[in-house]
Amino acid sequence: MIRISGVGKKFGDREVVSGIELEIRPGEIFALIGPSGSGKTTLLRLINLLDRPTRGSITFDGLNTDGPEHERLAIRRRMAMVFQKPAVLNTTVEQNISFGLQFRGMERGQIRDRVTRALEMVGLSGFSKRRAVTLSGGEMQRVAIARALVTGPEVLLLDEPTANLDPLSTGIIENLILQVNREKKTTVIIATHDMAQGQRLAHRMGVVMDGQLVQAGDLYEIFYHPVNRAIALFVGIHPVRGGIVESNEKNLATVAFGGVRIQAITALHAGEKVAVCIRPEEVTLALPGVCTPASSARNCLDGTITHLLPFGPFTRVNIDCTIPLTALLTRRSCEELGLVKGRQVTATIKATAVHVIRDT
């Protein structure tokens, strides 16, 4: 649907995004995730043809987007964008939602029908005569979404659509996004700094850091196989540094951290300096002596509990096994095992759950 090749954008001397290579497939929900200020908004603005890239090219449905302004307008009218800070014009809600259709020269009666349906869709029926500037943040964001959807876009661009919204409004908006994607086959690109939101909505994800698309792929790849430490941290894994690949036989490697050895699946060769990423939910805990490796591809590490942190219905357990590990257990199993600070436990991790990244 959209192909971005070698795109870079400079503002003054500063290159805000660079070397972006990305293909958005028709009908998918693609999440751009990354910390605030990483260049997600710049990328969305380039896709919406609001700005021109300083390098590289973007094609939309096979069309070159670098043409004169009237060609770009024709392409832009096949998309709609919702900005992070919704801007509403100082007029009625109804009028605000009509703009896109008015600009396209649609006839009045038809506009009214469409606007009414769009308002119903976002749950704001009865708001049509309200002055838009008097709405709450969540309501304004929903007006912005209705305004985007009413034009029936092939591609919907959303820039942090739920940042600063309460969980209820967030839920309404997320459901709406999923519904539009499902029912109208609208391609959706959503920029978010919220990993969990990316997980809830997206089919595929791209991680943007410091203006670069550092990793793109399906959710599993990004959550379990982050390509570097920054992404690992961002997706909620604390990488353990200071490892060296001791041996590697057909991708089953042994990584040594001083005296502690961990088996993992990786293509990295012996002698490489590495960090390992282990998702807390992949670590199971047992009382000492209970662990019997079912196969060689399973790690058993003895350690001492250093900290317990309640986490909703779960508890995060930090264990010192010479290397620091974190396990995520349900609160109930934590109580059943009688886990307290200072207690000796054995942590079990499958070799396939250990992700190894090169550490420089």
Of 91 and 125, CB closest to other proteins: 91
Question: Residues 6 or more apart from 174 whose CB is under 8 A from it?
Answer: 162, 197, 200, 201
* CB distance 82 to 161 below 8 Å: yes
Of 133 and 233, CB closest to other proteins: 133
* CB distance 20 to 167 below 8 Å: no
CB of 86 to other proteins, least distance (A): 8
C-alpha to C-alpha distance for 201 and 183, rounded to whole angstroms = 15
Rule CB under 8 A: is residue 60 a binding residue for other proteins? no
Scanning 80-88, 191-199, 237-245, 250-258 for contacts with other proteins by CB under 8 A, the matching segment is: 80-88
Q: Which of 26, 57, 89, 293 binds other proteins (CB under 8 A)?
A: 89
CB of 130 to other proteins, least distance (A): 5
Rule CB under 8 A: is residue 164 a binding residue for other proteins? no
Rule CB under 8 A: is residue 54 a binding residue for other proteins? no
Helix axes 137-149, 108-121, angle to 10 degrees: 130
CB of 194 to other proteins, least distance (A): 22
Rule CB under 8 A: is residue 287 a binding residue for other proteins? no
Scanning 97-105, 108-116, 202-210, 302-310 for contacts with other proteins by CB under 8 A, the matching segment is: 97-105
C-alpha to C-alpha distance for 219 and 119, rounded to whole angstroms = 33
Site for other proteins in 236-255 (CB under 8 A): none
CB of 180 to other proteins, least distance (A): 17
Q: Which of 6, 25, 73, 258 binds other proteins (CB under 8 A)?
A: 73
Q: Which of 3, 55, 112, 131 binds other proteins (CB under 8 A)?
A: 131
Rule CB under 8 A: is residue 80 a binding residue for other proteins? yes
C-alpha to C-alpha distance for 213 and 32, rounded to whole angstroms = 9
Q: Tell me the Cα Rg of the chain.
A: 25
> Side-chain half-sphere of 182: how many Cα atoms within 13 Å?
7
Q: Is 283 exposed, middle or buried (0-12, 13-18, 19+ CB in 10 A)?
A: buried
What sections of the chain are H helices per DSSP?
Answer: 40-47, 69-76, 93-103, 108-121, 137-149, 167-184, 195-201, 219-224, 229-234, 331-337
| Per-residue interface string for the shown chain with other proteins, residues 313-352, x marking contact by CB under 8 A | ----------------------------------------
Of 45 and 142, CB closest to other proteins: 45
CB of 80 to other proteins, least distance (A): 7
Question: β-strand 63-64 against 79-82: which pairing, if any?
Answer: unpaired
* CB distance 82 to 34 below 8 Å: no
Question: Residues 6 or more apart from 223 whose CB is under 8 A from it?
Answer: 199, 235, 279
Of 89 and 287, CB closest to other proteins: 89
Rule CB under 8 A: is residue 77 a binding residue for other proteins? yes
CA distances from 122 to 19, 106, 114, 140 (A): 37, 22, 13, 11
Q: Which of 38, 48, 266, 318 binds other proteins (CB under 8 A)?
A: 48
Rule CB under 8 A: is residue 85 a binding residue for other proteins? yes
CB of 104 to other proteins, least distance (A): 6
Rule CB under 8 A: is residue 42 a binding residue for other proteins? no
| CA-wise closest residue to 148 among 138, 160, 140, 156 | 156
Rule CB under 8 A: is residue 129 a binding residue for other proteins? yes
Give me the residues that bind other proteins (CB under 8 A), please: 45, 48, 50, 69, 73, 76-77, 80-81, 83, 85, 87, 89-92, 99-100, 103-104, 129-131, 133-135, 144, 147-148, 151
